Structure 1
Amino acid sequence: MNPKIVIRSETDADVSAITKVTVAAFKTLEISNHTEQFIIAALRAAKALTISLVAEVDGRVVGHIAFSPVTISDGTQNWYGLGPVSVLPDYQRQGIGKALIQEGLSRLKDMNAQGCCLVGHPGYYRKFGFKNMPGLVHEGVPQEVFFALSFDGHTPQGTVTFHDGFTADG
């Protein structure tokens, strides 16, 4: 099965569907605190969703990705955090997450962003060019699951802090 995937910016009408997709995508994930839907809502409320994309198949929202600004202790500007990214379980492993990530990264580059970082599965995000960068850390997160991708060749050094919305828990 290779569905026709449409990737587009979220609209107000998508908010409920995004919440449902996010809850379903993380429901059985052991490493999740199951707060992802609250994080997205907090980022949206703070107007910190720099990029928020949905994936549609047959007019139904089946995936979502969020990008928001991060702060880096060395003063490097214009870096963003990727996440959460969610795909309904029945639609996973069909290229939808990949399409969301690629479109999101492309839009960041179009905005002249300098780079992007995330906490995620090592085997997955390396294929997009993300890597562990010595000297760039996210406190409380093992280095092997913290990844960054520089768009301009400059690798910041310091501690990355995600938006306060990432502390939302309901």
Structure 2
Amino acid sequence: MDTIIRPEQKQEFKKIQDLVINAFSNAEFSDQQEYLLVERIRRSDAYIPELSLVAIDSDDQPIGHLLLSKVTIVDEDQSVESLALAPVSVATDYQKKGIGRRLITEALSRAKEMGYQSVIVLGHEHYYPKFGFKPASSWNIRAPFDVPDNVFMATELTENGLHDVQGVVHYSEAFSS
């Protein structure tokens, strides 16, 4: 399957919205509102166009989408910028075919090239460790809400990218609207 991973383009937003709705239509842990999160992130200061990636099939149709957006990790007077990985969407007909893996791998690589040090994710405890994620509590990094330790994870994009970093993750307002 010929799939291209690249930054999304504004003229694709409607197709990407349809894709995100489709991707979460049968998801067990979904409020079916992920497409609204994508829209809110795009309108926020947390949005990084170069890290909003789309997987395009050979018919030039979006089959996957991923967003990395800015967050901060705050501990008293220290604030460190990081990224949040959310959401990751793959059209139902393409799930379990490596599209999500390719999107995540490409996004982490691009984020590292752009100088980001770390990424935070709230996600499946058996899926994200494949990409180097481990419980954020390993660095004494906490979610701003109650969540099981094994699903709130972080990864370092550079060696010691989270050295001396601890605190609570502050998401953009897009996540709470």
4+ long deviations beyond 6 Å: none
Offset from partner CA, 1:55-112 (integer Å, 9 cap, x none): 0111110110001011111234231000101000000111110110011001110111
Offset from partner CA, 1:18-38 (integer Å, 9 cap, x none): 111111111111211121111
Equivalent residue letter for 2:36: F
Query: Do residues 159 (structure 1) and 168 (structure 2) align?
Result: yes
Percent of pairs with identical residues: 36
Which residue does 2:107 correspond to in 1?
A: 104
Which residue does 1:144 correspond to in 2?
A: 150
Equivalent-residue separation in structure 1 for 2:131 and 2:105 (angstroms): 8
Q: Do 2:44 and 2:172's aligned partners in 1 also have CA atoms closer than 8 Å? A: no
Equivalent-residue separation in structure 2 for 1:151 and 1:55 (angstroms): 22
Which sits farther off after the overlay, 147-156 or 122-131?
147-156
Which residue does 1:65 correspond to in 2?
A: 66
Offset from partner CA, 1:35-56 (integer Å, 9 cap, x none): 1111110011124221101001
Alignment partner of 2:87: what SS? Answer: strand
Equivalent residue letter for 1:130: F
Which sits farther off after the overlay, 110-119 or 69-78?
69-78
Query: Do residues 126 (structure 1) and 129 (structure 2) align?
Result: yes
Query: Do residues 55 (structure 1) and 55 (structure 2) align?
Result: yes
Equivalent residue letter for 1:82: L
Q: TM-score, normalised by structure 2?
A: 0.89
Q: Do 1:68 and 1:80's aligned partners in 2 also have CA atoms closer than 8 Å? A: yes
Equivalent residue letter for 1:13: Q
Which residue does 1:38 correspond to in 2?
A: 36
Which structure 2 segments of 5+ residues have no match? none
Which sits farther off after the overlay, 136-145 or 52-61?
136-145
Give the 3 Å change call, closer, same or farther, for CA 94–17 of structure 1 in structure 2: same
Equivalent-residue separation in structure 2 for 1:62 and 1:9 (angstroms): 13
Alignment partner of 2:47: what SS? Answer: coil
Number of aligned residue pairs: give it.
166
Q: Do 2:46 and 2:71's aligned partners in 1 also have CA atoms closer than 8 Å? A: no
Equivalent-residue separation in structure 1 for 2:79 and 2:135 (angstroms): 17
Equivalent residue letter for 2:92: P
Q: Do 1:77 and 1:114's aligned partners in 2 also have CA atoms closer than 8 Å? A: no
Equivalent-residue separation in structure 2 for 1:137 and 1:128 (angstroms): 20
